[in-house]
Amino acid sequence: MTDRPWRAVISGIGELKPERKTDGINTMDLLLRVSAEAARDAGLAPGEIDGLLVGPQVGETPQHVPATVAEYFGMRPTMSNVVDLGGASGPGMIWRAAAAIEMGMCEAVLCVLGNHRNPVPPRAPNRNPAREFDTPFGASGANTSYALLMQAHMARYGCAPEDYAAIAAGARANAQLNPMAIFHGKPADIGDILASPMVTSPLHLLEIVMPVAGGEAVIVTTPEKARKSPHRLVHLRGAGEKITHRAVSQAPSLTSGPLKPSIARALHQAGARIEDMDFLSLYDCYTIMVAATIEDAGLCTPGRFGQWLRENGGMGPEARQPINTHGGQLGFGQPDLAGGMTHVVEAVRQLRGAAEGRQIADCQTALVTGNGATMSEAVALVLGGSE
Amino acid sequence: MTVNLADLEVPGPTATALTQAFWAAAEEGKLLIQRCGACGEAVFYPRAICPHCWADALAWQEASGQGRLKSFSEIWKPGHPGWIPATPYLVGLVELAEGPTMLSHVLSGGQEAAVGAPLLFAPTRIGRRVLPCFEIKQD
């Protein structure tokens, strides 16, 4: 694999306020609303957007998803696709958009994810090995998978429950700085986290993201077209991706994941070191995910994330290397697949200097991570503000 | 756990033509895995061709039934509501003596679950099917 500089930039973002429940709306309405916001933010007319990346629309549109969305939006894209990498879908869209622009397939790509929370979601119609060989034993859902990862991590390194809970408490503290967050006005400390009900040991309820409705959109375009954006431009400096397995039983390691090579590759492309990152926008479906990512990023040796976090001064905007200033998904809420894109959107805000009430001083470069399935689908991005 | 696992109304395996032999063997109290005649690797879950060397040379083999608990979780809030009467119960990642890892239902037999604990194959009726479960080996 060769590394060459990325030319495309991020010139627009859109975000919907998370909601616990919705009634009778369809995904397309949410997607269009948040996309229009991102296009306005980029200063682009709908006709100027010629690329479209969307997520899978389980239950609503099983096939022909890009065509269905493009038609609804009145778009005629020259590049479109479904990016189906779970929580890594958002960051995975960014480099794919940049690559398509690099090859001249299109000039401005809308990357959009969103979901409703209408009542009575249908049970999964899955017929695959995870369904056949995990579910019959009483192990369905991500909570079980991440509990197994966390138990293995605790057993191997002897980390304390308080170490993991500090991540949820840090996310909640950051959510107090973001009025959009679902847990704004609802702080929780380490004691509160560990006092919450056990769901799948060793995971407590408050170490698990809250599902919400929402939407996130990002516009990736050429430097020329990005001149229409009134904001500081955000460049893609490096990207890395790795997929290793689907079911947790098939994981090559239970304590280190595919983000490790993905982050290394993204940093290498950017010519940067992890210590250089002014902001860490780390995918946080569970506390264990952030713990494993801190270690896989090489910020500390395996098993030492708790101590590192204390030495880092927590996760807030004043920390040595601030983490998830929007509250992370643990504090902001997880709008399904759009949850992974919240980490891109917050990094863009920080690099623009537009993270009102939680701005990091002199933020020039950020690491964004995305993660899907059972710590098995990984994307890492290094983003940098324009000179 | 206060209920008999056989009384649960829970989703069973979604067997295919290929995997039918595995589930049928479990009904008879046997644990089958596959071994590749070309590269010699043991394979779980069952596949059409070997995921290690892509040779069309997989054959069924009865496993020893010995395993080691790689990780576990005590489930208080199951992903499927049919499991609620059985809470809390244990699931675990079982590293088979032959090499591959499978997820399974773990019967504690009054022992404390711990990563690294030795396990024994324990076919158990869950709902309408006998499934390849494991129990923690007595000291």
Which residue of B lies nearest to A157 if distances are taken between CA atoms? Answer: B115
Contact B114 A155 (CB under 8 A): yes
The CB density around residue A375, as the number of other CB atoms within 10 Å, is 29
DSSP one-letter string for B2-38: -S-GGG---------TTTHHHHHHHHTT--EEEEETT
Q: What was the pLDDT predicted at A49?
A: 97
Which residues of chain B neighbour A129 with C-beta distances below 8 Å?
45
pLDDT tier at A194, thresholds 50, 70, 90: very high
* Stretch A189-210: mean pLDDT: 98
Q: What is the pLDDT of residues A85-125, one digit of tens each?
A: 999 999 999 999 999 999 999 999 999 999 999 987 666 67
Q: What is the pLDDT of residues A224-272, one digit of tens each?
A: 999 989 999 999 999 999 999 999 999 999 999 999 999 999 999 999 9
Q: Reply yes or no on whether the pLDDT at A351 is more than 90.
A: yes
What would the two tokens of residue B35 be?
A: 């071994």
How large a percentage of chain A has pLDDT more than 70?
98
Helix (H, G, I), strand (E, B) or coil at A253: coil
| Whether A365 contacts A246, CB under 8 Å | no
Q: What is the pLDDT of residues B2-11, one digit of tens each?
A: 689 999 999 9
Residue B42: closest CA among B105, B92, B97: B97
What is the distance between the alpha carbons of residues A58 and A336, in angstroms, rounded to a whole number? 11
Q: Reply yes or no on whether the pLDDT at B14 is more than 80.
A: yes
- This prediction's pTM: 0.96
Q: Reply yes or no on whether the pLDDT at A298 is more than 60.
A: yes
CA dihedral A45, A87, B77, A302 (to 10 degrees): -150
Which CB contacts under 8 angstroms, 24+ apart, belong to A186-192? A190/A162, A190/A165, A190/A166
Q: In which residue are the tokens 């979780």 written?
A: B73
Q: What was the pLDDT predicted at B45?
A: 96
What would the two tokens of residue A299 be?
A: 């910020």
CB-neighbour burial class of residue A196 (10 A; exposed 0-12, middle 13-18, buried 19+): middle
| Whether A381 contacts A367, CB under 8 Å | yes
Interface probe, candidates A120, A149, A249, chain B, greatest B C-beta count within 10 A: A249
Q: In what order do the strands lie in the sheet with B42-43?
A: B42-43, B32-36, B58-62
The helix (H) or strand (E) run that includes residue A10 is: strand A9-15
Q: In which residue are the tokens 């629309």 written?
A: A57
* Stretch A360-368: mean pLDDT: 98
Beta A279-281 vs A365-372: how paired, if at all?
A: parallel
Q: Reply yes or no on whether the pLDDT at A1 is more than 80.
A: no
Residue A1: closest CA among A239, A221, A235: A239
Q: Reply yes or no on whether the pLDDT at A30 is more than 80.
A: yes
Which residues of chain A neighbour B116 with C-beta distances below 8 Å?
155
Contact A148 B131 (CB under 8 A): no
What would the two tokens of residue B123 be?
A: 């076919």
Q: What was the pLDDT predicted at A127?
A: 79
* Stretch A207-232: mean pLDDT: 96
**Of residues A132, A201, A202, nearest to B13 (C-beta):** A132
| Whether A240 contacts A266, CB under 8 Å | yes
**Cβ–Cβ contact A143 with B under 8 A:** yes
Which residue of A lies nearest to B102 if distances are taken between CA atoms? Answer: A249
Which residue of A lies nearest to B46 if distances are taken between CA atoms? Answer: A129
What would the two tokens of residue A150 be?
A: 């966390």
What is the distance between the alpha carbons of residues A332 and A358, in angstroms, rounded to a whole number? 14
Beta A279-281 vs A203-204: how paired, if at all?
A: unpaired
Which residues of chain B neighbour A198 with C-beta distances below 8 Å?
74, 76
**Of residues B14, B79, B101, nearest to A249 (C-beta):** B101
Radius of gyration of chain B (CA): 16
Q: Reply yes or no on whether the pLDDT at B1 is more than 60.
A: no
Q: What was the pLDDT predicted at B3?
A: 85
**Of residues A135, A144, A249, nearest to B73 (C-beta):** A144
Radius of gyration of chain A (CA): 19
| Whether A354 contacts A10, CB under 8 Å | no
Q: Reply yes or no on whether the pLDDT at B119 is more than 80.
A: yes
* Geometric angle at alpha carbon A143, from A137 and A147, rounded to 5°: 85
**Of residues B12, B45, B78, nearest to A136 (C-beta):** B12
Contact A136 B10 (CB under 8 A): yes
**How many residues are present in chain A?**
387
Helix (H, G, I), strand (E, B) or coil at A292: helix
Q: How far is B86 from chain A (nearest CA, A)?
A: 9
Q: What was the pLDDT predicted at A26?
A: 87
- Compare B3 and A197 and report the one with higher pLDDT: A197
Q: How far is A161 from chain B (nearest CA, A)?
A: 15
pLDDT tier at A63, thresholds 50, 70, 90: confident
Contact B74 A201 (CB under 8 A): yes
* Stretch B76-101: mean pLDDT: 97
Q: Which residues of B10-21 are buried (b: 16+ CB within 10 A; e: fewer)?
A: bbebbeeeebee
DSSP one-letter string for A14-68: EEPPPBS---S--HHHHHHHHHHHHHHHHT--GGG--EEEE--BTTTB-S-HHHH
Q: Using DSSP, how many helices (H) and how many strands (E) does chain B show?
A: 1, 10
User: Left (φ > 0), alpha (ψ -120 to 50) or beta: where does A12 sit?
Assistant: beta
Residues of B with CB under 8 A from a CB of A: 10-16, 19, 45, 70-80, 83, 86, 88-89, 91-93, 101-105, 114-116, 126, 129, 131, 133
Q: What was the pLDDT predicted at A360?
A: 98
CB-neighbour burial class of residue A357 (10 A; exposed 0-12, middle 13-18, buried 19+): exposed
Q: What was the pLDDT predicted at B63?
A: 98
Residue A316: closest CA among A175, A190, A186, A181: A175
Residue A92: closest CA among A295, A251, A262: A262
How large a percentage of chain B has pLDDT more than 70?
99
Q: How far is B19 from chain A (nearest CA, A)?
A: 9
Q: How many CB pairs under 8 A join A and B?
A: 107
Which residues of chain A neighbour B126 with C-beta distances below 8 Å?
136-138
Q: Reply yes or no on whether the pLDDT at A62 is more than 90.
A: no
pLDDT tier at A5, thresholds 50, 70, 90: confident
What would the two tokens of residue B84 be?
A: 């609620």
Q: What was the pLDDT predicted at A123?
A: 67
What is the distance between the alpha carbons of residues A67 and A84, in angstroms, rounded to a whole number? 16
Sign of CA pseudo-dihedral A245, A330, B75, A253 = positive
- Compare A158 and A5 and report the one with higher pLDDT: A158
Contact A127 B14 (CB under 8 A): yes
**Cβ–Cβ contact A161 with B under 8 A:** no
**How many residues are present in chain B?**
139
pLDDT tier at B139, thresholds 50, 70, 90: confident
CA dihedral A347, A352, A358, A363 (to 10 degrees): 80
